[in-house]
Chain A
Amino acid sequence: MSARTIAVWDGKVRIRVHSEGSGPPLVFLHGPWGLTWDPFLDELAKSFTVHAPEHPGTTPETPDDVYHLDGLWDLVLCYDELLTALGLDTAALVGHSFGGMLACELAAAYPARVRRLALIAPLGFWRDGDRVVNWMMLDPARLPEYVFRDSKSEAARRMFGTGADPDAATEARVRLVWGMGATGKFIWPIPDKGLKKRIHRVTAPALLIWGKEDRLVPPVYADEFTRRLAGARVHTVEGAGHVPHLERPDVVARMVKEFVGG
């Protein structure tokens, strides 16, 4: 795997991009807890050239770059610049949670750039009767049980750094909190920032993937996408919470591969 840093936004925002594999280009946009290269991305890299950028500010070496962005519009423009810098006229976009919302916004802003759109438990809508749980206000000790169906799993341990090494735990804690802050900047206090006005512009075929036991963003939110995206399909993942691609990497990678068509 190679990692390079690409400066966008007139050089002010540095985005580190991890790239791996070969085949058609696929861009993965991560969720609120930062990017960790995981078995899901390994699996996708067997069929695609996977580019996984770290959202502005979530790279430990450049935490303050996110202050140069005032809102979602700025962020979407940054990603347009990034795709250009990666030499990608078009790509498949796969996004998780916050990254799913961002992928959908990109597909609405630049319909011609997006060949396929796979959204894993994406944010972007709000229902008063099925509120999205604000993970930023949960007791940190209980966050894993909201994100994962099984908070004791290996994948949960990887994300939350609940190992024995106190330095690693501290590092993980900082990475998680700052990741939530840097992504939360674009969605606080309610993750509905007007996607409903723009989603009609999306032309790419879309796939929705949802963990059946998602405790943060209830699976009913898939309806908000399918009734606005013609022909969009929904796959529900058994035994998974809000991060099905980490909880059932083989299953979700197969869904994405079949949809994107390696």
Chain B
Amino acid sequence: MKISAFHLMPHRELPDDFEKRYESVWVTPPWWELADAERVGQYYNWTLDELLFAARAGFDGVCTNEHHQNAYGFMPSPNIMGAVLAKATNGTDVAIVQMGATLPTSNPPIRVAEEYAMLDCISGGRLVAGLPLGSAMDVNLCYGITPMEHRERYREAFALTLKAWQSRELFAWNGRYYQLANVNLWPRPIQQPHPPVWVPGSGSISTFDFAVDNDVCYCFLSYSGAKAAKTMMQGYWDVVAKKGRETNPYRAGFLQLVAVAETDAAAEAKYARHVEYFYHKCLHWPIQYLSPPGNQDYRSLVAAAKSNIRRAEDTKALRYRDFVEKGYVIAGSAATVRDRIKEEVVKGLRVGNLMVLLQIGSMPHELTLENMDRFARDVLPSLRGEWNDEGWVNHWWPERLRGTGAPRAAAAVAAAGGGA
């Protein structure tokens, strides 16, 4: 299987009483009270250094993502980060996994197709093209897209992107939301017919259909762990089977928070406060921000109103041991972490493309490197061979990096530089 290091680039030093003093970590947090540009420059450099450390340490891919106006993860342009990572990892077999640039907030959306083609060219064909719908906070609240048009715009932009990469001829796009008379992309990606496409989702049934119909890798970017995702991912696999596609585990991606230490007790001592910081502060927003009226279609709205199942747990009431017990975070010794990932995530959800979040909330740079190092050294090697016995091909990974699942030779990554 393929295992990538994911990063949010959070604010690492929010005040202790942040969630009491401010209504939200997203959309409205006041920059001038909470942040300092010099210090934030340090965060960006730590983030890049950490991802390059992961690339050197043996991870298969490095992941960045796009969010706006928040202290939870603020890479408004993941492709700026991706460009640095692509250049610095040239000559290695590490994938640049952009999870990614958000289509409905990019205008015109072929900007994403262009930048991804650039990244694929710079990296020598190592790009994984994540094409997310984007959160309601980013797309509706920060970028002003009408909630009822959010999905329609996404789907039109998705079709335009795929066509822009592949078309042999200049073409006109006369869409409902986008009109371009001369689409003729420069550059085009190295990977043909186009880079592998991953679509992140949060469990809505219409996205399952969309992912399977378009034959992409569906990625559940969850902060609630595999136990909570079980029913939802089974729903995805049911759609895969119903539509007659092979149940190739590489058709699924999953994000898991992970913290590794010498022992389970040491993990608690090292990571507990960073895990609690993440769930108490980084995920602090009014629940109605997640779905402004019109963002959910009518049938989903009716289903959600009738069901209590989807009502999220109040994570503010939970502590480190709860998060670990419930599987929100898989933490402990290398053996504990390895066994839980295998059982709960890999087998439990049938996941071939695993993403792990190893820099969690306030976790400082040195501790992040330690967590990454322990994972790469003591956990990753025993996971990499998963699914090999079934002989599946990872169609959703850059072809030249697919390999055999055997341990990779240590990669020579360009020096990461010493921070800001």
Taking Cβ atoms with an 8 Å cutoff, the residues of A that contact B are: 63-64, 66-67, 70, 136-140, 170, 173-174, 177-182, 184-185, 188-189
Contact = CB atoms under 8 A, between A and B. Distances in A.
Given A64-B298, A185-B294, A189-B140, A137 B148 contact: no
Contacts of B286: 137, 139
A184 B147 contact: yes
Contacts of A189: 140-141, 144, 146
B148 A184 contact: yes
A181 B288 contact: no
Give the contact-size bracket for chain B.
20 to 34
Contact of A136 (B144, B293, B302): B293
Given A67-B148, A136-B147, A185-B149, 15 more contacts: A67-B152, A136-B293, A137-B292, A170-B305, A170-B306, A177-B301, A178-B298, A178-B301, A181-B147, A181-B293, A181-B294, A181-B295, A184-B146, A188-B145, A188-B148
B176 interface: yes
Contacts of A137: 141, 286, 288-289, 292
A67 to B, nearest CB: 8
Contacts of B148: 66-67, 181-182, 184-185, 188
A162 B398 CA distance: 54
Interface in B137-156: 140-141, 144-149, 152
Contacts, number: 65
Contact of B294 (A140, A173, A184): A184
A7 B165 CA distance: 41
Interface string B151-166: 0100000000000000
A139 B285 CA distance: 11
Given A174-B301, A184-B293, A188-B140, A140 B288 contact: yes
A190 to B, nearest CB: 8
A136 B297 CA distance: 15
Interface of B: 140-141, 144-149, 152, 176, 286, 288-289, 292-295, 297-298, 301-302, 305-306
Given A170-B305, A170-B306, A178 B293 contact: yes
Q: Which of B146, B293, B302: most chain A CB closer than 10 A? A: B293
A60 to B, nearest CB: 9
A145 to B, nearest CB: 15
A76 to B, nearest CB: 17
A25 B144 CA distance: 38
A188 B288 contact: no
A183 to B, nearest CB: 9
A134 to B, nearest CB: 9
Contacts of B288: 137-140
Nearest to A66: B148
B180 to A, nearest CB: 18
Nearest to B144: A189
The 5 closest A-B pairs by CB, nearest first: A181-B294, A181-B293, A180-B293, A63-B298, A188-B146
Q: Which of A67, A70, A139, A189: most chain B CB closer than 10 A? A: A189
Q: Which of B144, B149, B152, B294: most chain A CB closer than 10 A? A: B294
A136 B293 CA distance: 6
A136 B290 CA distance: 12
Contacts of A63: 298
Q: Which of A139, A174, A188: most chain B CB closer than 10 A? A: A188
Given A137-B141, A174-B302, A185 B292 contact: no
A137 B302 CA distance: 19
A126 to B, nearest CB: 13
B306 to A, nearest CB: 6
A174 B305 contact: yes
11 contacts: A64-B297, A70-B176, A137-B141, A137-B289, A173-B305, A181-B295, A182-B294, A184-B294, A185-B148, A188-B147, A189-B140
